[in-house]
A and B are shown apart, each in its own frame.
Chain A
Amino acid sequence: MEYFVQQLINGLTLGSIYGLIAIGYTMVYGIIGMINFAHGDVFMIGAFIALAMFLILTTVLGFAFLPVVLLIVLIVAMFFTSAWGWTVERLAYRPLRGSFRLAPLITAIGMSIVLQNFVQITQGARVKPLPPQIQGGITLMDGGATGIVVQLSYMQIIIILTTVALMAGFTLLITRTPLGRAQRACEQDRKMAALLGINVDRTISLTFVMGAALAAVAGLMFVLLYGVIDFYIGFLAGVKAFTAAVLGGIGSLPGAMLGGLLIGLIEVFWSGYFSVEYKDVAAFSILAIVLIFLPSGLLGQPEVEKV
């Protein structure tokens, strides 16, 4: 029981990170109907920026008060990663708008290769460790007989709270602001939206920027939670987050979050109860199973085919 609760907490934490990345996939897929293959690598970029900014603040400038440091790192990482997201859209997607569908997929794969190798060259191929910054936590259960202590660490609390706050803010952005309205309009019918005076290119760019900003938050959390990053983390995290987006129903924001949590839980329980080696196989199999048997996902709209 204690083990189960502990795994549940770990799964929800990991799922929050996947969910944040999944939102980027789901929004882009919703608006242009394509998988942003480079999104996982944008997340990786965000993690590297967060790490560098954290080091600048703590070792070079000598800030010691952690909450302020983290807040600044968060804002800086979101801003700089957004610039990367915008660039990916500008280079790989905008020139090919209206071209046949495979072309942007290839450019996106190309951008993904570029981003990985750019980071590998400029930052080195070795992993970057960061010692845990936020320690301690609340002991929830002290399972006397089993000896397993269930702990909710402060780190996990911060991750889950930040995710909830961002999700709330984000839902407001999509449902209540002119930008969100423009995005939903583009999602339904891009040509009609353009006829009604919406700047479609700008809206699509902003969608990439928003996705990248959320990926940056996920990157910062990944650095703090795992303490180890390298240039290759984007691929696996990207595929799992995409799985989450598909599982939740692509195009649906709450779906992406729900999918992220489920994928996080499945991965953690699979590693906890079956085998750590095959945890990626579990994620990939779920992706295949969901796409084959439930292509519209849990909360998605079924696609109507017109001939």
Chain B
Amino acid sequence: MAMNASNKGGAAQQSDPNSFAASVKDAAIAGLLVAVLGFFFIGIRTDIAPGGLDLKMRWGAWIISILVVFAGRLLLNLFVLKTDSPLTQKIAGAMPSGSRFAGTGKWLMRALFAFALVLPFFFTTFFPGKDRQFIDLAILIMTYIMLGWGLNIVVGLAGLLDLGYVAFYAVGAYSFALLAQYLDIGFWFALPLAGILAACWGIVLGFPVLRLRGDYLAIVTLAFGEIIRVVLLNWYEFTNGPDGISGIPKPTFFGLELKRGEGGFADFFGIAYDPIQRFIFLYYIIFILALITNFVTMRLRRLPIGRAWEALREDEIACRSLGINTRNTKLTAFSIGAMFGGFAGSFFATRQGFISPESFTFLESAIILAIVVLGGLGSQVGVVIASIVMIGGIEMLRNLGFLQQVFGSGFDPVQYRMLIFGLAMVLIMVWKPRGLISTREPSVVLKEKKRIGADMVAQGEGH
């Protein structure tokens, strides 16, 4: 038993670390910690009252939170952390192992693709009451998949850690909104312009940070993202500041507007008008845009420039000594990534019909980066899975109305969205630091394709 414990590299204590007493002690420490941490936040609430602030004591909630953590930690200790046969091992044994999963990965991708292709009709047929809501959610997830794929070029392939990606999203959205407002340009004409403008901004913002690496690069890109947001917020005459821009035109189907009555899409094709048609149309636009992003990325990976990106990620100095122009390589990664961000931005503007700087905060950058990293840097499928899990899972909280019957009517699960999102980020990263899909497909192969383990890839350390 003692041998076993030391083999597992457990805490070096004289007493048996796997005993029940040790588990209880550990859980008690966790409970005590929550008691300390929660005292001023769960136990006490300050509220604005007439004549200053008022204190409210909530001892019940405080004690419950301590007990919940104590019980949770105890169960975790008994069944997973401090036991000779962790439950997770049994589950992992029952599940298909990583290599077997990799074989099914291609089929999974095809199945996902086929489902995405027929998704709107699937929902209108099987969930006629909720189809609008589900298609809207699919549009949202697809937008994040596209943004994730765009950022994947910068972070996953070229290894440049960009925390200000939302800036290009904002540039794309505002380009289209302002072009439509001042020059009366429609969506399809503005889309390439927005992409080009975003790409230009990618070069403008990429140029000064060429020498930076790693965390420093991350923090400067964050600063750039915030600068763009603050400028959009304060340049009232041009961007309408915090009030945002509304009345952004909807996309047309080869000149046909998706509206009721004469001259609309439904009228032209002689079918009955249904507001859902607009959602289906929007879904296919973002679906095609996302596919283009993926296709371009996959093709670029095979071109010299794509290989240069990956070489840059692995070792910048080796790259330079082999004669690769690192400046141009970095700038193309920045600008192409930014271009797809710009496309996604103008789609966002046309979908919402209204944009304001509030939609482009640092949190949005963090979410996109989280999707890329949690999916597994450089993995296209990983981005899809991470988007579905993180965005879809979080949005599903809106449908948990039944929890109100359990916790009382004051309980609003939507409030907990971002809290759960943050916790999920921490937990998934601790569980799988290399992301959900951690093996890589080599872009150039000799004779046979071998899978590359994640530990062999430098990925995104900003070298």
Residues of A close to B459: CB separation below 8 A: 100, 102
Residues of B close to A49: CB separation below 8 A: 40
Distance in angstroms from A117 CB to nearest chain B CB is 4
Residues of A close to B422: CB separation below 8 A: 110-114, 117
Distance in angstroms from A246 CB to nearest chain B CB is 8
**Is A139 interfacial (CB 8 A cutoff)?**
no
Residues of B close to A295: CB separation below 8 A: 211-212, 216
Distance in angstroms from A43 CB to nearest chain B CB is 15
**Is A119 interfacial (CB 8 A cutoff)?**
yes
Residues of A close to B223: CB separation below 8 A: 239, 284-285, 287-288
**Is B429 interfacial (CB 8 A cutoff)?**
yes
Whole-angstrom CA separation of A189 from B350 in the bound complex: 53
Residues of A203-232 contacting chain B, CB below 8 A: none
Residues of B close to A196: CB separation below 8 A: none
Interface size class of A (residues with CB under 8 A): 35 or more
**Is the beta-carbon distance between B419 and A118 smaller than 8 angstroms?**
yes
Instruction: Identify the closest chain B residue to A96 (Cβ).
Output: B433
**Is the beta-carbon distance between A99 and B433 smaller than 8 angstroms?**
yes
Residues of B281-327 contacting chain A, CB below 8 A: 317
Q: Which of A60, A80, A87, A107 contacts B55 (CB 8 A)?
A: A60
**Is the beta-carbon distance between B461 and A102 smaller than 8 angstroms?**
yes
User: Which segment of B132-140, B256-264, B369-377 sits at the interface?
Assistant: B369-377
**Is B102 interfacial (CB 8 A cutoff)?**
no
Residues of A48-95 contacting chain B, CB below 8 A: 48-49, 51-53, 55-56, 59-60, 80, 83-84, 87, 91-92, 95
Residues of B close to A100: CB separation below 8 A: 433-434, 458-461
Whole-angstrom CA separation of A126 from B220 in the bound complex: 30
**Is the beta-carbon distance between B220 and A101 smaller than 8 angstroms?**
no
**Is the beta-carbon distance between B55 and A124 smaller than 8 angstroms?**
no
**Is the beta-carbon distance between B219 and A291 smaller than 8 angstroms?**
yes
User: Which segment of A12-20, A128-136, A178-186, A255-263 sits at the interface?
Assistant: A128-136
Whole-angstrom CA separation of A35 from B44 in the bound complex: 31
Instruction: Identify the closest chain B residue to A99 (Cβ).
Output: B433
**Is B89 interfacial (CB 8 A cutoff)?**
no
Residues of A close to B374: CB separation below 8 A: 106
**Is A121 interfacial (CB 8 A cutoff)?**
yes
Distance in angstroms from A216 CB to nearest chain B CB is 11
Q: Which of A105, A129, A285, A292 contacts B215 (CB 8 A)?
A: A105
Residues of B close to A55: CB separation below 8 A: 46, 53, 55
**Is the beta-carbon distance between A284 and B227 smaller than 8 angstroms?**
yes
A interface residue numbers (CB < 8 A to B): 29, 33-35, 48-49, 51-53, 55-56, 59-60, 80, 83-84, 87, 91-92, 95-96, 99-103, 105-107, 109-114, 116-119, 121-124, 126, 128-131, 235, 239, 242, 246, 277-278, 280-281, 284-285, 287-288, 291-292, 295, 307
**Can you name 20 extra interface pairs (CB under 8 A) apart from A52-B46, A102-B161, A102-B373?**
A49-B40, A80-B40, A83-B36, A87-B37, A99-B433, A109-B366, A113-B422, A113-B425, A114-B426, A117-B418, A119-B41, A122-B45, A124-B45, A239-B223, A246-B216, A284-B227, A287-B219, A287-B220, A288-B208, A291-B216
28 residue pairs bridging A and B, Cβ less than 8 Å apart: A35-B219, A52-B46, A55-B55, A80-B37, A83-B33, A96-B429, A99-B433, A102-B459, A103-B373, A103-B433, A107-B425, A111-B426, A113-B421, A113-B422, A114-B419, A122-B41, A239-B223, A280-B226, A280-B230, A281-B227, A284-B224, A284-B226, A284-B230, A287-B223, A288-B209, A291-B219, A292-B209, A295-B211
